[in-house]
Structure 1
Amino acid sequence: MDIDIGIKAADREASANALTRLLADTYTLYLKTHGYHWNVEGPHFQQLHALFMEQYTEMWTASDDLAERIRALGFYAPGSYTQMAELASLQEEDSTPPDWKSMVQTLAKGHEQVAKTAREVLRIAEETGDDATSDVVAPRVTLHEKTAWMLRATAS
């Protein structure tokens, strides 16, 4: 069935492609945060264990929102680890979990990157008149910037 939501097919595709990259970055950061939640050790264990759980839970919900927006635009969302890894600008970690401070620093950098990716989505959504995508993504920028700041403060 044809999609007629007031956005040209090529513009919907541009938004969907940008959202796909944001979804991949969000999902990769979600996985990293969840792994850190399981493996954090040290004097700040309880605080970080709870903080990481709050963060990965939020990103899990955001991943669903992003994927649903991709689908509303008429495109398929990536659905495998392989696809996510190929599309993400963040790298997975294959080694032994780092110490708590390195975890916090790595996550801060990850949130900064996701904020950058989200900004690119906003730029494309604005150019294409895709207000609904902007509505989904704008709060992501704010959240990731705030989370990065809090993590940087924690690592100081």
Structure 2
Amino acid sequence: MMRLLLLLSLLALAAPLNARDSLGVFGEWGAFRDPDTPRCYAIAEAQESRARRDYQPYSSVGNWPARNLRSQVHFKLSRHLSDTPRVRLAIGAARFNLVAGAGDAWAVDAATDTAIVAAMRAAGRMSISAIDNRGNRFTDRYSLDGAATAIDAAGVGCTRSRQAR
């Protein structure tokens, strides 16, 4: 919870620059609306770790109404990835292969986004593992406490911003 409050504090300080509106904090997850883009998203930091980190890892589920995109998952991973990172997401008994860039990962398609979000709603934790640019496998772990409510708040936040226009 403290990590999320720190993340929210940092986002609040940057709010005038990035015009983000807080939609609420729910367990370990927060929900935000960025009316300039426009987009709404639920976001959480990975659990603390003593392992080496090149980036501050986070997970998000976003909506872009103007592009008709809903519940698109994105992961900022904690390390620079290898050219063949084999990124794997585990949520309860469900497993998903993801596509990746230098330090990011996404679902392979919209159907997988939907399946990942459904699994997130039903589980308490998730982890994402990959191979870093040094050839080592690493894992980022997340609590899903509050994820479903934050995802719902982000969806409602973008619906409301569309209706206000």
Length-normalised TM-score, structure 2: 0.30
Higher relative contact order by CA 8 Å / sep ≥ 6: 1 or 2?
Answer: 1
Higher helix share: 1
Length-normalised TM-score, structure 1: 0.31
